[in-house]
Structure 1
Amino acid sequence: MYVSITLPVLLFCLAKSPDAISQNAGMWPETKAEHKPWSRWWWMGNAVDSTNLRDLMDAYEAAGLGGLEIAPIYGAKGFEDRYLGFLSADWLNMLHFTAGLASQKGMGIDLTQGTGWPFGGPQVAPEMAAARMVVQTHRWKGGNGLDRPLVLEDKKGQQLHHDLIALMGYHEDGRVEELTAKAKADGTLDWDQEGVWRLLAVFQAQTGQMVKRAAPGGEGFTLDHFNKDAVANYLQSFAKAFGDHTPGIRAFYNDSFEVYGSDFTGSFFDEFERRRGYDLKPYLSQLLDNSPAEKGIRIKSDYRETIHDMLLEYFTRQWTGWAHRRGKKTKNQAHGSPGNLLDLYAAVDIPEGETFGSSYFPIPGIRRDSADIRNVDPDPLMLKFASSAAHLTGKNLVSSETFTWLGEHFKSSFSQAKPELEQAFLAGINHMFYHGITYSPLDVNFPGWLFYASINLNTHNSLWPHFQGFNAYIRRSQSVLQAGRADNEIWMYWPVYDAWADPKGISKMLTVHDIDEWLHPTPFYQNSKQLMEKGFSLDFISDALLEGTEVDKKGLMRTKDGKSPGQVLIIPKLHYLPVETLQKIMEVAAGGANVVFQEMPKNVPGFYNWEARKEQLDELWKQLRFEDEVSGSLKRAKWGQGQVLWSPDLLVALNHLGVQRESLVDSGLQFIRRDLDGDKYYYLVNHTAGQIDRDLLLNYEGKSAVLMDPQQGITGQASVRKKEGKLLVRVQMDAGEALIIHALKDEMPGVPDWNYATGNPEEMVLKGRWKLTFVGGGPDLPAGRELDKPVLWTDLTDDQADVFSGQASYETTFEIDFQEGAKYILDLGEVRESAHVWINGHEAGYAFGVPFKLDVTQHLRNGENTLKIEVANLMANRIRDLDRKGIEWRNYHEINFVNIDYKPFDASGWEIMPSGLQAPVTIKMYR
């Protein structure tokens, strides 16, 4: 049998420090609030009250949530009398009350610093709002003057705040003159110049974007994130509202950068000249040109770098500093920003990625209907920008907004969500947030208040009674993924200047939805993906993060604040590399590090004095005398205490350096690894179509290993042997399962052995009579009945069962000749969609995803046994019934409720979704 802990293990733990106890072999780390899943929590209309807050948070705590992220948004119609104005005294009272409740329950609260998204609201005056650059062409002819007045002609801009920022004159003979000071308020030009001139008038024009999905009291313009004073004023409005009583939250939160069309601010030209070393205004023609001309590309790159600098300094760092002075953290989604994502993520306390859409997995039995998913394939590599920034700056938590538009409303199951989440875990996410839960008062009938882009995990959801089973799996997984430190051997340099060299457009927003353009075609992405598939672990590093890197006596690279060392730095094929970055790379190599260039850097980025800087780059490169040709595709240059390799084939270079991969990926398994002061955690997932039963060779010279099943919480000492000094660990995993290996440098006595399934099983089909009882849900509870075998309740030709969403129990008895030392697996077969199992009156666990199997060894007894399987289906059939009957339940301000294609939602044409349990149910015995 499996036992979580034995007396010898307990006594061993008591002699160790608290930190050691939390990571002791045979035990799960001691639970913290951050180990549990958290959730986005929409306050619709801010229509919250103390009674409902207390009851709902009791339910959230019981379901296994560790915290909530408050996001005020638009409200439900008919409840306007309950609305609370954002930042009003009543709203603040409810916020303090919520934070107090959370503290009592050991939960955490984060707060979106605004309503809806992005940052903005009534405190944002027009001159402080998001702005865009509008360039207008005029003509001047000596004697005739201007062709027309210097007034903004953009119709949208005319209705909003705007200013003339600069006026430049270009003569056909090449002369350039700035005329800004000569432009008069009435649109005339105080200038007397002969000849024909082309004039470019640059206006700062307000974008007009309002806060999206704003809550009452939060309506207003979107903030200018590049304006230092605008950001300061915005933050001051919260300081004023909070006074001396900043709420007891953990962190302030910022959603993904969705400030559309914002590419300018009034001080931009001055900032540009100060940061880039030259005046941009004479080169406006090149900035606006979309041709691939080199001069224009260089100027665009400088423009984009300046926007990045201002966003990083004036928004991200200023905001984080403001929060820190109040004892709070910041949590930020940098993706979508017009900047270097790594540096923006690195500037906050908790970098946050996002999973959007649905992935394909070959796991048998996972339902994925093309009609119910968005045409988006999430790429977990995108999440590594957030996790890498955390790893290289010493921040342990990496969060994710998880399951945004996982599938069509009311059709998303735990079985679909589990591998999607695991994909995020493999990318370094270890602090997931559901997207999400809507605050829904107890007096609001099914389906409760709902958010239009969510998987709608509120207390009305028919899966809610099984939510704690899925959450327990996440808690166990995250307790391991937050332990120790990330253990990635490769640092992959991200050539952001290549991304900024795009000749198209002016601004360059690096969004999740456009990765086919700015990420997928790049050697950086292709190499990273290839190396990970081959079993290497890596983090991404930026120029700024590299700047603070030092090399220790072992030749390992360490960033200034990071805890995760790198064995080798890879510079993938690129076009642009700053001189300063190459100097730092050579300094790191001289200190004893291993560096690999896939190709010689071709050029320097930016326009100012670029020819001279290019010569510097070339001269630096020449100092690396690649005289030692190891093979036809690999050259080596010794440099100081280290070496620089040059090879188009990174696998050849890594092999030469002796950087060893994890060969376990050859089995089809995927992994992420954590270091525990010499011990290791391997988190494994089987996203293949088949079972894995083999000895896995770990790239680890340990002596023992403990297996940990995060689905059921079972642990046991693994069967291990050594091969060339490395651990071989026997692993058995069905398709869809996760498993953790705790690899240990020492022997671990006292941990019971893992009970492997050996040989061919003896299978018993449970053929007795079954009792079906509907126990919770609606609209009504169908009548129970006796069955010869488990059948889907939607196959009963029962109209009430067809429209039912909720939970029903299937109960039976069976005889078994129980064998001590055998292993018994209960296989539920087809479950639509989640199961909670009791054997002999004792809880045996939740089967919430593929494979729907449970190890029930410790629950069986010789002779007669009772089995109860409670199955929960989805909300879809009940929603379908509401729409077929014309019962109105979608009644919200603003966007109301839309389907996955952002069209009006209507479920009346849906087919009935299969629900319940389908025979056969079997027990397999392994002797």
Structure 2
Amino acid sequence: MFSNRRAVGAVLVVVLGGGLVAALPTVVTPVNAEETPAFTAASFADPPSTVRPKYRWWMPMAFTADERLRAELADMKAIGAGGAEIQTTTAAGSRAFDPAFLAEYGWGSPLWAEKVETMAERAAELDLALDFTISPRWPAIVPTVTDVNDPRASQQLVFSHAFVTGGTTYDDVLPSNDDPRPPAGARRTLVAALLARCADPACDRQSSGPVMLDRASVLDLTDSVGDDNRLRVDVPGDAGDTSVLTAFFQTGDGQLRNNFTTTKPNYFLDHLSEQGVRATTEFYDSAILTPPVRAALERVGRVDLFEDSLELGTSQKWTWDFVEQWEKRRGYSPVTALPALAGAGSAGFTGAPLFDFTDGSGPRIRTDYRQTWNDLYISARLDPLRRWANDRGMALRSQPYGGPVDTPEAATHVDVPEGESLVFYDNIEAYRLVSVGAHLNGTPIVSSECCAARESVWATTAGGWRPPGNLRSVYRGYAGGVTQVVWHGYPYLTKGEGTSDQAVWPGMSYGGNTSFGEGWGAKGGPNWADYRAINDHLARLQLVLRLGRPSFDVAVYLQDFGLRSPATRLTGPETLLESDSPLAERGYTHSYLSPAHLRMPSARVSHGRLFPETGAYQAIVLADQTTMAVDTARRLLDLSRDGLPIVFAGDPPSATPGGSHDAPARDAELRRLVAQLVRRHNVHRVADLAAVPNLLGRLGVRPAAAHATDSADVLSVRRSDRATDFYYLFNQRSWATEQRLTLTGDGQPYELDTWTGKITPITDYRRTAHGVVVDVALEPADTKVIALSTRHDDTFRRAPSADHVPATTRNDGLAPVVLDDWTLQVESWSRGGSGLPGDTARTRLPVIPVVAGDRGVLPPWSALTPANGYDVDLGDVSGIGTYRSTFTLDGSWQGVRAAQLDLGDVVDTATVTVNGTRLPALDPQDRRHVEIGEFLRPGRNTLEVRVSSTLLNAVRVAPGTGAAGRDRMAYGLLGPVRLTPVAARQPTLTVEALERELPLASGGANQSRVRIANNSPRPVTVSVDATTGAGVEAVPDQRSLRIPGRSSVTTLVRLRGGNETGTSGLVIDVAASNGARGQDHVTLSHSGNLAVNTTGSPYPRVSTSSYQYQHPPSFLTDGQVGTYWVSNGQTPGEAPTPGRPEDLTVDLGLPTVVRAVSLSGRGNWAPRTYEVRTSLDGRRWTTVASEVDAPKADHVTAVPPVTARYVRLRITQGWYPSQPGHNTQLGEFGVHATLGE
């Protein structure tokens, strides 16, 4: 057919002990080698389309113009894309929902097939991939399923119940209080009618908690129910007994999506049966994949069938053979166990079901529901869908999460597993759950839907350490194993003839002008053109990340169901490692393994490595795993006998999952096997995860990228081929970091500049018995790629031997220069006068002078208004601004060979031209180290900085856009801008404050990290001086220090004092014994809150004992009550209790006097009962205050004055809208040196 990649294989089924059945992951053939080109200087400089980012492409079904479709594909190609993913939206206007309109323009119509052919033909011409979303939206629908009772429609399990007294006769229809209520017209198919005795005769009057039932008393009355749903039964017991009659019915769940296809209603398809898959595949074969479409797609060659995450609603999903499959796979019938599922929710996970069993089997039964759900999703959906797609030359790309799914296992049953930044948020670990599927399958592509952000359309920035900075989201995915970005998204120009004023300009977006970002395309922001350089950069990264094979230091065993689902705790990091775990602090990399992975044929040990071809794990770690299947324990025992080290952190598992009646026997067998395991010489137990790194070190298991100092700032990804080890390095912090790494591998180290495409030998390194030692410095949320290669060819050239040596031994005046005199001309982008969709007027405004203020800071465009004395009004302007500074360099700059330009802050993208020469693309995460030395000259110089903004400010004020309520952005070159000589005839110093801005609260303390680089080959002694404004004390840790030649040191300036409001400055002056000098500035942000941190600096730092990924601990101290932290828990009973408290801890960085804490926001979810604790060392704690029934509103708790570095809020109860509580939430957690706050 039409693909140059295939991934096909048979599903293998094995019968486990006790009659349990499990599916083995499909064995796949790796993607065709054409997908990942060889690494050469040419392929790195200009990567091919196969490794370039894609765009999610929204369009109003077939209500499009062919010329526009072709033009938009060409626009993506020009911006450096490698493909497009087709998604649809509804059309606009009075006709949009009419049946006749939908019959002509709807998804799946003949016209739609013609549009697909048009898109495919153009994509083939442009060498772009073209991907289909499985249906017009998600979950999957088709025009042929229009009846709620269609057996292919999504199914649910509903239940009804009635309490009955012992010794009586029930003679009536089955109870009709269905929960949930079936949709109108839905047929009820009886699954079971059951009678069970309550443990408490007063259960019919029970007001809270599950009604406890005697499992041994359950009677299956299903066969006694008549066709009219009547049942006659004599209730066992006497008048002192109470039983509950429960009836379980299967119905269509009634969920639908209309106005997308040629018909309506369109019901969600059954995701747990093959007939649900066939509804999709048969429709594609008959209506979309017409002969002309197939021929066009064959010319495209690279086509994915894409399915988004499972958003199947809140009811409990079921399917026609669920009972039979449960019995086959779990070894017992679920019928008499069904009461344990009543009220257990869509994923069978709850702390408070309506019913439960006194023998404790309820949680096991609910686990079996989740496991069976997972098995059917894989075997009845992913596997047949993949076979069908592969047979038609397509790869199956899927986000395998959202229901009760074992995501790592499911990810091995697709060709391209995908995650997403919106749901994963800052969580790198979630990407690891998805990426392991590609790793174990031996395929190179792991995809990410990036970088959707709420309320960010027209406003996302390329750089920055905080959301919605796009690159930070991309890089976090790469650190978790992602190798392909699908940008979210590229909207078609317009929704059509009835497009509202909101969408006429700038044009269509996903959800309107206050919704999800981004609205990419030529009609979008002024920064769009600069994304060519960004996409080139990402293509180079994606090329590197697909090369060779992945390898990890250790595997982490995990079984959990339902990433992004109530079936799990994976909404927060309770069962996953943290990305800054003790393993990460030492530099260990890891990947997760599901029990199913250990059953794969490739799960073998060779030369001490598990999965030697696809993971090369040196050990497997189990962290607090409470349950494990017997066959998994046997497999671990086999692996240990093959020589693999196994580490139990915490208690080993002691119980099996599952609710079969022989569970006690299975538990005993598990304990027997675990006892055998822990007696083996290569199986080890430690108290907790913190003890694992030292143990691994003693075992000789070394990180491939070992850290010299314990810090999880830098994460690594390693890919290896026969001659080269490639290391992707990522600073996951919001502050700059430094680390000395020992990299495993042979040959010469090289830096791969993914912004310019240059490959440069690293000369400053040393080799040890364990590898190559290099020093790495990374800006916040930035990356670096280092390769160790034994190749010596046109790609990896030998290092030059020459080294620059200054001609003089003293500096006689060469010093950094601050550029503070600028002109600015802005091309303003605004709504055009034609009224046509996407018509943007570009108006060149007059040139104005812009003079820097204190410390060289330049004003944002929003301050360049007549009210502030300027001749133009840029207050609400978006566009492209050209800054020019003409400056004179004196004779001391003669002979300067290298100099760094520091642009300071810039919003958004920027290009730089020096004396008429445009520089290569800039890294938006690091605009402090722009090399421009070769372009400077003594005398007159001209620097031009072209800054492109987002479109938001113009959209805010454009009539009819509906965006007036959004906050204005600060655009422009904000500086300070500075030139620093590095290599010159005279010796030089480079002085950098690693944090340009620091919080310093009234009565508080902080520390400024200062990196001082001696650029001379000779050692020097430097003096450090620090000056501040009134009310702040600044003391250098070392006023004098010696720095070896060609080396740098990082020292501290300690700060105390501070004001209640405003900002002040810290000036750091450094003078060297050879006459070289340097200076840098830090802005100090003042408040009355010791805990607040809006600058991303290392301190103050907040942590919590749990959190949910979209509501992280950083929201507690970001100064915004509107953002809030949420503890773990999505179902009743998971909120903090005295036995399971929730700790919020602020590390102030230095000991400080504390007199109060404050809590803000979240009302009914706020902490109710808590203690305030303090510590100097983070280990020994003292309770200094407590609150019972604390107010729901903002509240201050006074504490006796105490000196502490750490302040902790221990929450034991919250205010909950209903009991038992789900979780606790808080807007801000403040710490104060005075009682005034």
Task: Determine if contact 1:718/1:730 at 8 Å carries over to the other structure.
Answer: no
Residue 835 (structure 2) aligns with? none
**CA pair 49-180 structure 1, distance change in 2 beyond 3 A:** same
Determine if the alignment matches structure 1 residue 556 to structure 2 residue 609. yes
Identity over aligned pairs, percent: 22
State the distance in 1 between where 2:506 and 2:931 align.
35
CA contact (8 A) 2:44 2:543 kept: yes
Distance 1:791 1:454, change over 3 A: closer
Contact kept in structure 1, 2:880 and 2:946, CA below 8 Å: yes
- 3-state DSSP of counterpart to 1:411: coil
Is the CA contact 1:702–1:743 (under 8 Å) kept in the aligned structure 2? yes
Q: Deviations over 1:661-711 (max 9, x none)?
A: 3333736333222112252111123354665567x3323242311112223
Task: Kindly name which structure, 1 or 2, has the bigger radius of gyration based on alpha carbons.
Answer: 2
The equivalent of 1:875 in structure 2 is: 951
Partners of 1:844 and 1:859 within 8 A in 2? no
The answer to whether structure 1 residue 612 and structure 2 residue 665 are counterparts is yes
Structure 1 residue 145: deviation in Å?
A: 4.5
Deviation at 1:389, TM superposition (A): 1.8
Q: Is the contact between residue 44 and residue 75 of structure 1 (CA under 8 Å) also seen in structure 2?
A: yes
Residue 446 (structure 2) aligned to one of 371, 388, 398: 398
Q: Paired residue for 2:186, among 131, 145, 161?
A: 161
Q: 2:130 pairs with 78, 103, 109, which one?
A: 109
- In the aligned structure 1, how far is the partner of 2:46 from the partner of 2:963? 44
Give the distance between the partners of 1:193 and 1:624, measured in 2 at CA: 50
Aligned residue runs from structure 1 range 307-706, under 5 A: 307-356=373-422, 378-405=426-453, 408-415=456-463, 416-441=469-494, 445-452=504-511, 453-462=516-525, 463-496=527-560, 509-511=562-564, 519-522=572-575, 524-525=576-577, 529-548=581-600, 549-558=602-611, 563-598=614-649, 599-608=651-660, 609-624=662-677, 626=679, 637-638=680-681, 643-648=682-687, 649-661=691-703, 662-664=705-707, 666=709, 668-688=713-733, 696-706=740-750
SS in 1 for 2:919: strand
TM-score normalised according to structure 2 size = 0.63
Cα distance 1:706–1:689, how it changes in 2: closer, same or farther (>3 A)? Answer: same
Counterpart CA distance in 2 for 1:657 and 1:342 is 28
Question: May I ask how many residue pairs the two structures share in their alignment?
Answer: 844
Query: Structure 2 vs 1, CA of residues 185 and 234 (structure 1 numbering), >3 Å: closer, same or farther?
Result: farther
- Pairing partner for 1:146 from 168, 171, 174: 171
Taking the aligned partners of 1:406 and 1:50, their CA distance within structure 2 comes to 31
Tell me: CA distance 1:305–1:781, structure 2 relative to 1, closer, same or farther (3 Å): same
**Residue of structure 1 equivalent to 2:1152:** none
Deviates more, 1:185-194 or 1:386-395: 185-194
Conserved in 2, the CA contact under 8 Å of 1:131 and 1:264? yes
Q: Does the aligned pair in 2 maintain the 1:160–1:208 contact within 8 Å?
A: no
Q: Does 1:809 align with 2:882?
A: yes
Check conservation: 1:732, 1:756, Cα contact below 8 A.
Answer: no
For 1:755 and 1:711, how far apart are their aligned partners in 2?
Answer: 25
Structure 1 counterpart of 2:717, one-letter code: I
Task: Give the corresponding residue for 1:797.
Answer: 865
- Relative to structure 1, is the Cα distance of residues 769 and 541 closer, same or farther in structure 2, using a 3 angstrom cutoff? closer
CA distance 1:657–1:795, shift in 2 (3 Å): same
Q: Select which of 722, 725, 728 maps to 2:773.
A: 728
Report the Cα offset of residue 426 of structure 1. 0.8
Q: With structure 1 as the length reference, what TM-score do the two structures score?
A: 0.83
Deviations 1:88-136 (A, max 9, x none): 1111111111112112111111110101211113322423221221111
State the Cα distance separating 1:579 from its structure 2 match.
0.9
Name the structure 2 match of 1:40. 56
Q: C-alpha separation between the residues in 2 aligned to 1:806 and 1:754?
A: 46
Query: Separation in 2 of the partners of 1:54 and 1:401?
Result: 23
* Aligned residue number for residue 237 of structure 1: 283
Determine the C-alpha separation between the residues in 2 that align with 1:774 and 1:190: 82
Partner of 1:925: 981
Which whole-Å CA distance do the structure 2 matches of 1:304 and 1:137 have between them? 23
RMSD: 3.5
Q: Shift of residue 833 of structure 1?
A: 1.5
How has the CA–CA distance of structure 1 residues 526 and 471 changed in structure 2, closer, same or farther, with 3 Å as cutoff? closer
User: Which SS does the other structure have where 1:122 is aligned?
Assistant: coil
Q: Distance between the aligned counterparts of 2:62 and 2:34, measured in 1?
A: 41
Secondary structure of the structure 2 residue equivalent to 1:221: coil
Secondary structure in 2 matching 1:525: coil
- Structure 1 segment 115-134 matched on structure 2, within 5 A: 115-124=136-145, 125-126=147-148, 127=150, 128-134=152-158
1:392 aligns to what SS in structure 2?
helix
Q: Is the 8 A contact 1:770 1:812 kept in 2?
A: yes
Residue 100 of structure 1 corresponds to which residue in structure 2? 121
Residue 179 of structure 1 is matched in structure 2 by 221
1:822 aligns with 2:874: no
Q: Whole-Å Cα distance in 2 between the matches of residues 602 and 576 of structure 1? A: 6
Match for residue 21 of structure 2? none
The answer to whether the Cα contact below 8 Å between 2:61 and 2:107 also exists between their aligned partners in 1 is no
| Cα pair 2:738 2:776 within 8 Å, conserved | yes
Give 2:536's aligned amino acid: A
Deviation at 1:391, TM superposition (A): 0.9
Alignment partner, residue 831 of structure 1: 906
**Alpha-carbon spacing, 1:274–1:101, altered in 2? closer, same or farther (3 Å):** same
| Partner of residue 849 from structure 2, selected from 780, 787, 796 | 787
Structure 2 distance, partners of 1:840, 1:602, is 72
What is the identity, as a one-letter code, of the residue corresponding to 2:93?
K
Structure having the higher strand fraction is 2
Counterparts of 2:859 and 2:647 in 1: how far apart (Å)?
Answer: 60
C-alpha spacing 1:403/1:155, structure 2 compared with 1 (3 Å): closer
SS in 2 for 1:845: coil
Distance 1:26 1:665, change over 3 A: farther
Letter in 2 for 1:602: S
The offset of 1:606, in angstroms, is: 1.3
| Structure 2 unmatched runs, 5+ | 1-32, 198-213, 343-352, 464-468, 497-502, 832-840, 852-857, 867-871, 984-1237
Partners of 1:216 and 1:250 lie apart in 2 by 24
**Is the Cα–Cα contact under 8 Å of residues 146 and 189 in structure 1 kept in the other structure?**
yes
Check whether the contact 2:894–2:937 (CA below 8 A) recurs between aligned residues: no
Letter of the 2:304 counterpart = A
Give how far 1:355 is off: 0.7
Q: Which moved more, 1:132-141 or 1:855-864?
A: 855-864
The 3-state SS of whatever aligns with 1:436 is strand
CA distance in structure 1 between the partners assigned to 2:571 and 2:824 by the alignment: 57
Could you list the runs of 5+ residues in structure 1 that have no partner in the other structure?
A: 1-16, 358-375, 500-508, 627-636, 890-905
State which drifts further: 854-863 or 35-44: 854-863
Separation in structure 2 between the aligned mates of residue 729 and residue 417 of structure 1, nearest angstrom:
28
Say whether the 8 Å CA contact 1:346–1:393 is kept in structure 2.
Answer: yes
